[in-house]
Chains A and B, each alone.
Chain A
Amino acid sequence: MRWVLNRLRTLLRRHKQEQDLQDEVAAHLRMDAIERIEHGAVPDDARQAARRDFGNVLVVTEATRSTWGWTLLDQCLQDSRYALRSLLKRPGFIAVTVVTLALGIGANTAIFSIVNAALLRPLPFPEPERLASIFSINPSPNGGLWMVGPADFRDWREQSTTFERISAYSGSGLSLWIGERPEEIYAARVTWNFFDTFGVAPLLGHGFEVADEANPPDISSVVLSHRFWVNRFGSDPNIVGKTIKGGRSLLRVVGVMPPSFKFPDTAEVWIPMGCCGEMTRRATRYWRTVGRLQDGQSVESARAEMKAIAERLAQLYPKENRNWSADVLPFNRAIVQDIRQALWVLMGAVVFVIVIACANIAGLTLVHSASRRREIGVRLALGANRWRLIRQLFVEGLLVSVLGTAAGLLFAKWSIGALFSLLPQTTFTPLIRFREGVQLDTTVLLFTALISAFTAVVLTLVPVWNSLNLTLADSVRGGGKKGTSRREHRLYKLLVAGQFACAIVLLAGAGLLMQSFVRMLNVDYGYDPPGLMMMNLPLPIQGREVFVDQVMQRINAAPGVESAALMSYNRFGGLNQPINREDKPLANGDVMVRYSSVTSDYFRVLRPRLLAGRVFDARDSSNAPGVAIINGRLAREYFPGEDPVGRRIVLAYNNQRLSREVIGVVSDIRQDAPGQPVQPEIMVPWPQLPWLSANLILRGEGDPAHVQKLVQEAIWSVDKNLAASRAETLDEVLSSQVATPRLYSILVGLFAAVAVVLAVVGIYGLLAYIVSRRTNEMAIRVAVGAKASTLVRLVILEGIRLSLAGIALGLAGTALLTRLMRSLLFEISPTDPMTLTGVAILLLMTASAASYIPARRAARTDPAVALRND
């Protein structure tokens, strides 16, 4: 601001100074004339004589002005005007350069703005660096970080000294009565100190209290999100203390959070959790944690402590916790775990794009500066200041890069919107939650400025370097056709080969991601997704069995419904329980497997193949002997070479050990996203072990809205107080599972396409340039009888040699770089030879095609040209 004022002041002063000078000169002339008249001259003559004596007014004023110290600014303005004129004379060059820069800078800005929002910007909580998440570490080979069992959480919370507070959260649906109808909304279940952990105080009322954690769910407290309070309660200032009727209970509003607090992002309300024995579950790991470290404690010290506590717990509770450990991650990393690597890969990809763009522009500039050598040489010969010339070239480069940056920012703004519209609007895609945070803020603009400055340097360095050691003799000889052109060619060739090296890296990355994506789409789910729909089924507090029976009967009988079943898991994947073999206990104790409670129709809906035994039927009622069905994976893993049917499995369930007879083996039903391996799974009959929440899966005709209506009618015919939630087709659910990989492959694919186009433009430009510089040679060759085909081959071979050099270099780099994206790949090696060969051949073919046009031109050289040219 002060800088601007200063500038303005000097500009004003400058204006006054200029006026002063004009006045001074005028006074001089006037007084001189008056004196001459006094000495007897005729007024006209006197004025003329005065003027003659004074000399050239313009020259005098200019010379005087130069003492003011303004010259630099003046010259810069002049340089800009000159640069603009010189650029406008080359509209083709400026268009290609600006578009190339806009693509490069735009892509970089867009991706960086996401990286900035997701990975760099501090979280909107006080002292976010003190927040950390604790995970369980699953000892099995594919284990990694897991969520946390409530009992483990409770013990950690009690025993930890490095954490000031530890809280847990978990998602849940909630039925609320607002007005006439119950409505299903998304609620986060949290431990009582959740808000205190983040250090965010409610806007109205207060957060939860210790007692809330123990409250039975029929008199629950609730904290509203700001959004929910505004939209549904019209910002009612007296909301605290009021009660809302929930599907199963009454909810008392105790507080409203400020608008800035959005965690978990989709939460509309928060309700307490941990009551009614939930805190005693150890083997079911479904809680997420966030803790605030004591002042002065580090993540490392917390990690060491948690590992020690986890080790003690593993010894105390070997059945549930044998070999389980714990890990602590900074909270900002914990919540972006799944996209962290992908974002860095994308960032790497766009950096390659900008490098290629710069190499391309450098090549173009080189050609243009070569054609301007004569001009520059002559100006140098005429005594132009070398630094002034360099400065002028620099201003030209700067101008192009400023134009490119402006276009790039527009492009980035547009592409961020386009990018998010490629993602389905579900909570499934981890990127979507950063949507609001992705802005062109100061950090992003600073980054853009940095790239822009880098491109400006590239844009100017090439012509400057090229003209610096230009001697007078060179320019007089006609732009230095001999010695300098060789050096120039070498630089240009290096630039083109470099572009190919970068392009092949991007192309290989894109190829690998696309193949992964296709493989994900072709994954065998173990069932046929078309025609399947899924939705949450609300359950009443009391009389669940009757409710489930009646509702399911009605739904199954409804027209258009082929079959419908209940299952315990939501959106596939999530529930795990430890099991063991009863006859031959496993050497390492209980193993964690997928656990599903399903009604007998489940097998009619999903139609897995029956590998052995039978599926559930009416016989497996609540008072019949306990049975279970296992999937093929479990059978192979824990009953290798045996027939599992008839054997018994021990299921650790809510602190009991239940013995179950295996009555059947069915083919694997994939519950996990395609990137994950299918887990061993045990299924139990719903009537024997109903789960707390129920999910409906249904095969039938009609769209989700129709099915939702139908289910709603079935529910209301039994219980008027419960609301059906939105139905989703399985296709929707599955495609949102692969939405993020799809986005990655689209993005890297786009970057690769841009890279290839730029590389092709680069090689075309180079060959066209070389051909035009070698017209003489070509003409002589034609004159002495070279065939057109020979000349074509000559040029194309040059193109292939160059691109091959680049590709070879690039492939070496690819092998190193694609390894970094291993976690994004699915069923394909980062150095998959087929992909690498494929993209290399593709690029080589494109390069030869691009070489063909200049090659044709070379072949058509008129031999007479050689005579005419010099």
Chain B
Amino acid sequence: MAIKARENRIDVLQGTLDMLILQTLQWGPLHGLAIAQTIRTKSEDLLKIEAGSLYPALHRLEQQGWLDSDWKTSEKGQRAKYYRLTRAGKKQLLAEQSKWERLLKAIHLVMRPTEG
């Protein structure tokens, strides 16, 4: 079962990770672990975000001004660094979404089974 899950897992496309993070954060601030878990759960375990990609991405997005962060105590009483979307981040998310939709459409057109 575990092995099967790993086989089915999809590598996150370069560049889409940023979008996934922004998307995940649009419902409210989350810490790194929660972001990874949310993406994993929502993708029904198909996407697993490695810490080695997640944290560089978070820090990069923060540097670009799309995310902001501060230390807060979680509902379980743990101190954690929470990231939230900035205004610029929301704009960026919209841009990424429309880009992604166009890309999906394009890929779909290319990939649809040819007739006859």
A-side residues, CB < 8 A to B, are: 20-21, 23-25, 27-28, 30-32, 34, 53-56, 59-61, 63-64, 66-69
Q: Flag if B60 contacts A67 (CB, 8 Å).
A: yes
Q: Flag if B78 contacts A34 (CB, 8 Å).
A: yes
Given A24-B55, A28-B33, A63-B52, A34 and B63 contact (CB-CB distance below 8 Å): no
B116 interfacial by beta-carbon distance below 8 Å: no
CB distance from A53 to the nearest CB of B (A): 8
Q: Flag if B63 contacts A31 (CB, 8 Å).
A: no
Given A27-B79, A27-B80, A68 and B51 contact (CB-CB distance below 8 Å): no
Q: Which residue of A lies closest to B61 (CB)?
A: A67
Q: Which residue of B lies closest to A69 (CB)?
A: B63
B29 interfacial by beta-carbon distance below 8 Å: no
7 nearest A-B pairs in the assembled complex, by CB-CB distance: A67-B60, A64-B55, A67-B59, A63-B56, A60-B52, A27-B80, A54-B51
CB distance from B44 to the nearest CB of A (A): 18
Q: Flag if A31 contacts B51 (CB, 8 Å).
A: no
Contact pick for B81, options A20, A30, A56, A67, CB 8 Å? A20
Contact pick for A24, options B50, B60, B81, CB 8 Å? B81
Q: Flag if A30 contacts B78 (CB, 8 Å).
A: yes
Mask of B7-44 contacts with A, CB within 8 angstroms, 1/0: 00000000000000000000000011100000000000
Residues of chain A within 8 A of B56, CB atoms compared: 60, 63-64, 66-67
Q: Flag if A28 contacts B51 (CB, 8 Å).
A: yes
8 of the cross-chain contacts (CB-CB < 8 Å) are A23-B71, A28-B51, A31-B31, A55-B52, A56-B52, A60-B51, A67-B60, A69-B63
Mask of B68-97 contacts with A, CB within 8 angstroms, 1/0: 000100101011110000000000000000
Given A31-B31, A34-B76, A63-B56, A23 and B81 contact (CB-CB distance below 8 Å): yes
With A and B bound together, what is the CA distance between A781 and B24 in angstroms?
Answer: 78
Contact pick for A31, options B33, B55, B60, CB 8 Å? B33
Mask of B44-56 contacts with A, CB within 8 angstroms, 1/0: 0000001110011
Which of under 10, 10 to 19, 20 to 34, or 35 or more describes the interface residues of B? 10 to 19
Given A67-B59, A67-B60, A31 and B74 contact (CB-CB distance below 8 Å): yes
With A and B bound together, what is the CA distance between A318 and B85 in angstroms?
Answer: 99
With A and B bound together, what is the CA distance between A63 and B76 in angstroms?
Answer: 29
With A and B bound together, what is the CA distance between A56 and B50 in angstroms?
Answer: 10
Given A24-B32, A31-B31, A55 and B51 contact (CB-CB distance below 8 Å): yes
User: Which of A59, A63, A66, A69 has the most chain B CB atoms inside 10 A of its CB?
Assistant: A63
Q: Flag if A68 contacts B31 (CB, 8 Å).
A: no
Residues of chain A within 8 A of B79, CB atoms compared: 23, 27
Residues of chain A within 8 A of B32, CB atoms compared: 24, 27-28
Residues of chain B within 8 A of A32, CB atoms compared: 33
Q: Flag if A68 contacts B59 (CB, 8 Å).
A: yes
Residues of chain A within 8 A of B71, CB atoms compared: 23
Given A56-B52, A63-B52, A31 and B80 contact (CB-CB distance below 8 Å): yes
Residues of chain A within 8 A of B52, CB atoms compared: 55-56, 59-60, 63
With A and B bound together, what is the CA distance between A20 and B83 in angstroms?
Answer: 13
User: Which of B33, B60, B63, B71 has the most chain A CB atoms inside 10 A of its CB?
Assistant: B33
Q: Which residue of A lies closest to B55 (CB)?
A: A64
Q: Which residue of B lies closest to A50 (CB)?
A: B33
Residues of chain A within 8 A of B55, CB atoms compared: 21, 24-25, 60-61, 63-64
Q: Which residue of A lies closest to B60 (CB)?
A: A67
Q: Flag if B31 contacts A64 (CB, 8 Å).
A: no
Supplied contacts A31-B80, A59-B52, A60-B55, 4 more A-B pairs, CB within 8 Å: A20-B81, A21-B55, A24-B32, A66-B56
With A and B bound together, what is the CA distance between A67 and B56 in angstroms?
Answer: 6
With A and B bound together, what is the CA distance between A60 and B81 in angstroms?
Answer: 16
With A and B bound together, what is the CA distance between A25 and B54 in angstroms?
Answer: 11
User: Which of B52, B58, B74 has the most chain A CB atoms inside 10 A of its CB?
Assistant: B52
Q: Which residue of A lies closest to B80 (CB)?
A: A27
Residues of chain A within 8 A of B50, CB atoms compared: 55
Residues of chain A within 8 A of B81, CB atoms compared: 20, 23-24, 27
Residues of chain A within 8 A of B78, CB atoms compared: 27, 30-31, 34
Q: Which residue of A lies closest to B54 (CB)?
A: A60
Q: Which residue of B lies closest to A56 (CB)?
A: B52
Q: Which residue of B lies closest to A59 (CB)?
A: B52
Residues of chain A within 8 A of B33, CB atoms compared: 27-28, 31-32
Q: Which residue of A lies closest to B52 (CB)?
A: A60
Residues of chain B within 8 A of A20, CB atoms compared: 81
With A and B bound together, what is the CA distance between A54 and B33 in angstroms?
Answer: 10
With A and B bound together, what is the CA distance between A25 and B76 in angstroms?
Answer: 17
With A and B bound together, what is the CA distance between A59 and B76 in angstroms?
Answer: 28
With A and B bound together, what is the CA distance between A66 and B79 in angstroms?
Answer: 25
Residues of chain B within 8 A of A56, CB atoms compared: 52
Residues of chain A within 8 A of B51, CB atoms compared: 25, 28, 53-55, 60
With A and B bound together, what is the CA distance between A56 and B55 in angstroms?
Answer: 13
Q: Which residue of A lies closest to B58 (CB)?
A: A64
Q: Which residue of B lies closest to A54 (CB)?
A: B51
CB distance from A82 to the nearest CB of B (A): 25
Q: Which residue of A lies closest to B77 (CB)?
A: A34
With A and B bound together, what is the CA distance between A60 and B49 in angstroms?
Answer: 12
CB distance from A473 to the nearest CB of B (A): 34
Residues of chain A within 8 A of B80, CB atoms compared: 24, 27-28, 31
Residues of chain B within 8 A of A53, CB atoms compared: 51
Residues of chain A within 8 A of B31, CB atoms compared: 27-28, 31
With A and B bound together, what is the CA distance between A69 and B62 in angstroms?
Answer: 12
With A and B bound together, what is the CA distance between A20 and B69 in angstroms?
Answer: 11
With A and B bound together, what is the CA distance between A68 and B63 in angstroms?
Answer: 7
With A and B bound together, what is the CA distance between A712 and B60 in angstroms?
Answer: 92
Residues of chain A within 8 A of B76, CB atoms compared: 31, 34
Residues of chain B within 8 A of A68, CB atoms compared: 59, 63
With A and B bound together, what is the CA distance between A63 and B59 in angstroms?
Answer: 10
With A and B bound together, what is the CA distance between A28 and B31 in angstroms?
Answer: 8
Residues of chain B within 8 A of A67, CB atoms compared: 56, 59-60, 63
CB distance from B41 to the nearest CB of A (A): 12
Q: Which residue of A lies closest to B57 (CB)?
A: A67
